[in-house]
Amino acid sequence: MYLGRRQEEDPIGCYWVWLFTLSKILEFGDTYFILLRKQKLIFLHWYHHATVLLFTWFNTSRSETPGVWFCAMNAAVHTIMYTYYALRALKLPVPRGIMMSITITQILQMVLGLTLCFLVVVRQWLGHPCTFSRAVFRAALLMYLSYFLLFLQFFLRTYKPKPKPVEAEKKPPEKVNGLWKHKTT
């Protein structure tokens, strides 16, 4: 689709990429609600929102080809995620497994982002036309790698089974002069 030509050659596609870029500002709305409800704002949340906004503006302003794919992946995952948040806000019961599935999908998005970065570089190396500058490649690589590690850490902390409480160890009966001391009733 966009591999091999610049976004400005497709004004409709470019329009949607710009709308996507502007939507990153609106995503700070959920940060506002977290703060308003005095909930804990985790590093992953604010780091992700801040850096994805910066990267999206950087990528879009340069009309880099892979940006369309980055946008599509992110929009798909966020559509699912914000639907989940809307259901929760409406106090509708949502199985715990749904949120875990969303987190897994986010991790897969990061793997796909890293894969896309390398596929584009391989295409360029093989001589196929594709606009993907070294600056955007480095930024995308750093962004997707950091997101992958942070989402994986979040997944392990949030969904790792909690260890069962260890029962108090049963002590063997005490020995008195080499014999077992028994309670008398």
List of residues 6+ apart from 164 with CB closer than 8 A: none
Q: Is 48 a catalytic residue?
A: yes
DSSP 102-116: HHHHHHHHHHHHHHH
Q: What are 180's strand-pairing partners?
A: 175
**Angle CA 123–12–134, to nearest 5:** 30
Residue 162: C-alpha distances to residues 2, 97, 136, 159, 166 (Å) = 45, 16, 40, 8, 12
**Active-site choice (48, 78, 128, 182):** 48
53 near 71, Cβ under 8 Å?
Answer: no
Active site residues: 48
